[in-house]
Amino acid sequence: MKISKFFAVISAIYFFSVSGAQAQSSSEKFLKFKYKKDDSYRVLSTVSEDVKVNGILNHHAEIINRATVKITDVDKNGRGYSTANFMTTESSTENPTHTTLTFGENYESKFWRDERGVYEIEDKYFMPVVRDVPLFPEKALKIGDTWTANGHEAHDLRKTFNIPTPVKVPFTATYKYERDEEGFSSDEKHEKKIFQVISVKYSLFFESPTPKSSTGDFICTTMGYSNQTIWWDNEKGQIDHYKEDFRILLETYSGNQFDFYGTAHAEVTEFTRTATEKNIKDVEEKIKDMNIENVSVVKSEMGLTISVENIQFKPDSAELLDSEKEKIKKISKILESYSNDLLITGHTAKAGTPESCQILSEERAESVAQYLIDIKVRDKYHIFTQGFGARVPIASNAIEAGRAKNRRVEITILDK
């Protein structure tokens, strides 16, 4: 059993905005979220987690949590309305079949968040998990100041316990303005900044209501803690990066225990949408200038997609031919012009069983992704894979020319 936590960095749904100035000394600061309409950013957190079931180690997991967010409105009170897409993927010692990170399940979410950090979000949305963290007081702060504020975690237990809405676990967090620290921003600009370093600690203890149904198992108690350090950029009104150690212990009515513990770190970076008409035209021209055959460019649901058709592998394998590596290497020069994450999707012609087509498509996507990692186009935390088997043809499988088109790998510069 796996229950993955989407960590507190995703509570950083913010960006530039406007707020009235208040008198304060040079050593005091009003810390607050700032929003600006149409700003976009990405949050990427990496979690290293061990899972015990009834006291016995079940598996170790590395979890990548990815969110892309756009501020679509800012109201007169300075609240920002966010439209967000969340994705979680996991590799573990329990299921070590993939060498690259597969693109996981997507979650859409929409919510308001005010300047202090308080969310207003409907129960139909399960992300973000940690809410109202950080939450700042309505007064100026100086180094050494402490404060407390209420928050909650919203756990998605639909698959594990068939609970249709988020299970909300309340807590009271303790904050401390630890120090100011010089460093470099997490985005590609790597600007020198003065960050406000904030520590956040909270413990969890929550007894769930008795279930109405007597069938199945249900959580009766949730316990745990989170210790976080946040590097806050008050000029932008946002988190720049953060780290955490945590533990979550779930007890069920039947006496089972599920123990999740580990560490996490995250970065917040500005995000640029790539699938514009100008960019598509520019990429098409570069492909033509490089004389790369059997390659097309389109705007897809996920971003700007470069489709490599009739891609060639060694017989009965997912190992790229040297000629195809040269083709991918040329395409990599285009990819290096963009900083967004990449999604590599594999497709096959309709041959063999659906199961064999699915496996082959996944393996071939992984092969291309691993090659891009090997030549340092992206590291393994910024490139994801997905296989579709023969389910998404772009031509008829009745003729060889159509089957050649369907044997393809698509490289998408992600806009979600």
- Give the span between the Cα atoms of 285 and 283, in whole angstroms: 5
Strands (E) across 288-370 are located at 295-299, 303-309, 342-347
- Give the span between the Cα atoms of 272 and 303, in whole angstroms: 11
Beta bridge partner(s), residue 53: 56, 258
Angle ∠(303,308,313) on CA atoms, nearest 5: 135
Task: Answer for the pair 402, 396: CB distance below 8 angstroms, yes or no.
Answer: yes
- Give the span between the Cα atoms of 363 and 312, in whole angstroms: 13
- Give the span between the Cα atoms of 351 and 19, in whole angstroms: 61
pLDDT in tens, 52-103: 999 999 999 888 889 999 999 999 999 999 999 998 887 765 555 566 778 7
Which sign does the torsion angle of CA 31, 35, 39, 45 carry?
positive
Provide the pLDDT confidence category of residue 19 given band limits of 50, 70 and 90: very low
> What pTM was computed for the model?
0.81
Print burial letters for 42-52: b (CB count within 10 Å at least 16), e (below 16). bbbbbbebebe
Residue 320: DSSP 8-state: B
- Give the span between the Cα atoms of 357 and 352, in whole angstroms: 7
pLDDT in tens, 116-132: 999 999 999 999 999 99
User: Which of 126, 112, 136, 146 is CA-nearest to residue 13?
Assistant: 112
Residue 232: DSSP 8-state: E
Beta bridge partner(s), residue 229: 199, 243
